[in-house]
Amino acid sequence: MKQTGQILQALSVDVAFGALCCCAMFCRLTGLVPLPWAQLLILGGTVLLIYTADHQADVYRMAGTPVTHRHRFHRQYRHVLRPLALALAIFLAAAAFFLLNASLLRFGLALAGAVALYLLLVSRLPEGRARRWFHKEFLIAALYTAGVWGTVVVQAQRVLPFTWLSGAIFFLLALQNLMLFSYHEWEDDVSQGQRSLARSWGRNTVRRGLYLIMAVLVVLLLTSFGFAGGTGLAVWITMACMTLILAGLCLFPSSFRRQGLYRWLGDGVFLLAAWSLSGT
């Protein structure tokens, strides 16, 4: 079971399923029910595809044996994963064209262009030239939020204040998650020559940034509680639990560094939204 879990994590299946769950949560928040399963599955597959492309780009640039398990896995099975990723991309494009409505398809195409630009910058931009302004953690958090939360909002007939606040909270949770990984994996990134926020800013600055995000999240959660009602209350509780877990990873980093526990919990917080997949 442990080996299976490591393979699924290396493939980012947990991240893709977490995105699917959170998107379903926001669908319920905005009244988009019954759940649009075609949209949810296409989103999950797209997240899986993007992470695969990102990891393949990483291992292509790396000199020597990768340090992390996910990069070693992607290098070892690159001859299998690359054609599978191409087949998945073709399938998802066809499914999106035939199954998604026009507004969502237009938004998806714009988002696909942004993702393609991100992947191009990551693979082609010299690190020294981009170090001061290109921080992939901010871009990934924005793209992830746009895919999970934005694809729901563009279809909503009415966007209430709590929906906007929940989008801001979700973006900060995604950013905090990525900054935590950057903080914990600083040594690996240095040894592999990988871009990361911790390498650009320094670990101490990143940790202060994590504390700042924690404070802003608390303020936003307290502010938004009065606007949450009905399904919104379940969404608020879910995001509050996510905040508490990530806060624990920020405050006690050494306790979660053993055996990569920080990554299991960091990605796993988004699975807390799995409750939204039940019912109609």
Place of tokens 């694809």: 151
**pLDDT of 131 strictly over 60:** no
Q: pLDDT for 84-113, tens place per residue?
A: 999 999 999 999 999 999 989 999 999 989
Where is average pLDDT lowest: 58-62, 214-218, 230-234, 248-252? 58-62
Q: pTM above 0.85?
A: yes
pLDDT for 111: 92
**Residue span of the structural domain in which 87 resides:** 2-277
DSSP string, 223-262: HHHTT--THHHHHHHHHHHHHHHHHHHHH-GGGG-GGGHH
Task: Report the distance separating Cα 148 and Cα 167, nearest Å.
Answer: 9
Position 146 pLDDT exceeds 60: yes
- What are 158-168's pLDDT values in tens digits? 889 999 999 99
Q: What is the pLDDT of residue 135?
A: 79
Q: What are all long-range contacts of 209-217, with beta carbons under 8 Å and residues at least 24 apart?
A: 209/179, 210/176, 210/179, 210/180, 210/183, 210/250, 211/250, 213/172, 213/175, 213/176, 213/179, 214/176, 214/243, 214/246, 214/247, 214/250, 216/172, 217/169, 217/172, 217/173, 217/176, 217/243
Alpha-carbon gap, residue 206 to 183, rounded angstroms? 7
Token pair listed for 156:
């909503």
pLDDT per residue as tens digits for the range 210-239: 999 999 999 999 999 988 888 899 999 999
Reply yes or no on whether the pLDDT at 280 is more than 90.
no
CATH number of the structural domain spanning residue 143: 1.10.600
129-153 per-residue burial string, b: 16 or more CB within 10 A, e: under 16: ebeeebbbbebbbbbbbbbbbbbbb
Instruction: State the total domains in the chain.
Output: 1
